[in-house]
Structure 1
Amino acid sequence: MAVPKKRTSKSKSKKAQWRKKSLSVSRKSLSLAKSLLDNKSNSFVYANFKSINND
């Protein structure tokens, strides 16, 4: 006897995609923050206001 396949709901798959995307963005931002704290960033330009005001 043929049994129909179980269907996955669209809302669950959309949530999984959203979570995967947010995890990727959070990892990138954490990596950028760590590199800024260690002064190792090459691709991100920012003004260091402490050094500008102290000169």
Structure 2
Amino acid sequence: MAVPKKKTSKSRSRKRYATWTHKATLQAQRAMTIGRSILTGRNTGFYYPDAKTETEDEEE
């Protein structure tokens, strides 16, 4: 016979929501850090397409 599921407590659901939002906040901070390093020219750990080379390739 089917049995109803137990209700999730508010503290448990709030904890899950807080974890979910915290992960998004960390990702946003990492993205801002990478963006700042690209703009200042201090990036060393990753590669990205250069805008100058893309426009030169399209003209040829």
Residue 29 of structure 2 aligns to a residue whose secondary structure is helix
Partner of 1:34: 36
Structure 1 residue runs of 5 or longer lacking an equivalent are 1-6
Distance in 1 (CA, whole Å) between partners of 2:16 and 2:23 is 11
Residue 42 of structure 2 aligns to a residue whose secondary structure is coil
Question: 1:9: how far off?
Answer: 2.7
How many corresponding residue pairs?
47
User: Aligned-pair RMSD on alpha carbons?
Assistant: 2.0
Partner of 1:13: 15
Query: What's the TM-score, normalizing by structure 2?
Result: 0.66
Distance in 2 (CA, whole Å) between partners of 1:49 and 1:16 is 39
Task: Tell me which stretches of 4 or more aligned residues in structure 1 moved more than 4 Å.
Answer: none
Identity of matched residues, %: 22
Distance in 1 (CA, whole Å) between partners of 2:28 and 2:51 is 26
Query: What's the TM-score, normalizing by structure 1?
Result: 0.71
Please tell me the residue identity of whatever aligns with 2:31.
S
